[in-house]
Amino acid sequence: MADADVLRRMMSGQYRSKDHLIEIEDKFFSNCKAKGYPEKISREIWRQMESFAGYSFNKAHSASFAVESYQSLFLKTYYPLEFMVAVLNNYGGFYNRKVYVNEARISGGNICLPCVNQSVFNTSIQGKDIYQGFDCLLNLEGKLAHRIIEEREANGKYTSLENFVKRTQTGIEQVVILIRVGALRFTGTGKKQLLWAAHLMMSKHKPVAASMALFETESRKPILPPLEGDILEDYYDEMELIGFCVTGTLFDLTKSDYRGDMPARELHLHEGKIVRVVGDFVCEKFVKTKRGDLMKFGVFLDAEGRFFDTVHFPQSLAKYPLLGAGVYLVEGKVVLEYGCPSVEVIRCAKMPLKPDPRSE
């Protein structure tokens, strides 16, 4: 029993006596030999026990983790949209927010920009509509976000731009953010017209406290010429204000419409072949080879929103480095490991994006 306890503690990383461990190992092989077990099998069993020691932990932890894993698996399988909304609202996970929004989209969700008449502070779900919360806006004041919600709950939905400004006492800078991100689209008026109207209205009149307004009044609306919207401007606004495209993807901004020889879901059919794939960069991991050279593992999303992995050996990495966020054209050989495909990169490069029309 004493030897068994030492072995247990060794496998859980709690034992530090090297001499005693060697003694236990010798005793294990000696006993196996005495019982007539083949040496090859004995050594394989010991190897597996040693490798298990690298990630073992106690029974209470493993049991609770198993329960949580099965519960999460059930929720993700049968309530995928609600599950992804919960992940977004926990502000956790390995990947950035864009990846979880993408997962919700390919699971059948309609991803909606923040709306002053629908959104709450966090991400919320209404049927299949997933509304981004005010928390996703990088430069929106938290106090204003809560004030928008509280005023709406107390006195009903906002009816116009002027009604919104009067009731929330919002300054022009914050109004501009909300207009540019599409949070006042309920008005049915284009963003450019709303921006003009907001500047004209707020430059002439000082805000009046909402509690002082006895009757709802609307000031005279300026007559504005028709101003055409630009979907490309919307994408760049979303990238600036949220950090990524919500109504589209980064693929919508590339100059080229080329999306690779095949989608990621077909890579396993091309084992050993040289292919070209296009992916939106997600993350990377540095490792060192036995010689001490740097190499990388990359993760990308294809145009369908599905993952594929890349392997960048030192030689190709030196000539064709990964340069952070962007859409990449990747050429390489498809390899399968345990049935999962990855691309051993021969060369790769960022694809150019369409110029930002807002700066023209």
Q: How many residues are given for the chain?
A: 360
**Domain boundaries for CATH 1.10.150 within the chain:** 79-204+223-242
Sign, CA dihedral 231-233-238-244, equals positive
Q: Collapsing DSSP states into helix, strand and coil, what is residue 223?
A: coil
Sheet holding 129-131, edge to edge: 110-112, 129-131, 124-126
Q: What is the pTM of this model?
A: 0.78
Residue 37 has pLDDT above 60, yes or no: yes
**Residue with structure tokens 């990088």?**
138
Architecture of domain 264-350: Beta Barrel (2.40)
| Predicted pLDDT at 64 | 87
**Domain boundaries for CATH 2.40.50.140 within the chain:** 264-350
Instruction: Encode burial over 303-337: b for 16+ CB neighbours within 10 A, e otherwise.
Output: bebebbbbbbbeebbeebebeeebbbbbbbbbeee
Closest to 244 measured CA to CA, from 77, 142, 99: 99
In Å, how far are 8, 33, 57, 291 from 21, measured between CA atoms? Answer: 11, 19, 19, 31
In Å, how far are 86, 207, 242, 254, 255 from 145, measured between CA atoms? Answer: 20, 18, 15, 33, 36
Q: Report the DSSP beta bridge partners of residue 340.
A: 337
Tokens matching residue 272:
């050993």
Q: Which of 40-49, 160-169, 207-216 has the highest mean pLDDT?
A: 160-169
Give pLDDT tens digits for 173-216.
999 999 999 999 999 999 999 999 999 988 865 555 555 455 55
Tell me the average pLDDT of the chain.
89
Give pLDDT tens digits for 128-139.
999 999 999 999
Mean pLDDT of 86-115: 93
Instruction: Encode burial over 16-35: b for 16+ CB neighbours within 10 A, e otherwise.
Output: eeeeebeebeeebeeebeee
Q: What is the CATH number of domain 79-204+223-242?
A: 1.10.150
What is the Cα–Cα distance from 129 to 127, expressed in whole angstroms? Answer: 6
Mean pLDDT of 114-120: 98
**Residue with structure tokens 């092989």?**
29
Residue type, 70: Y
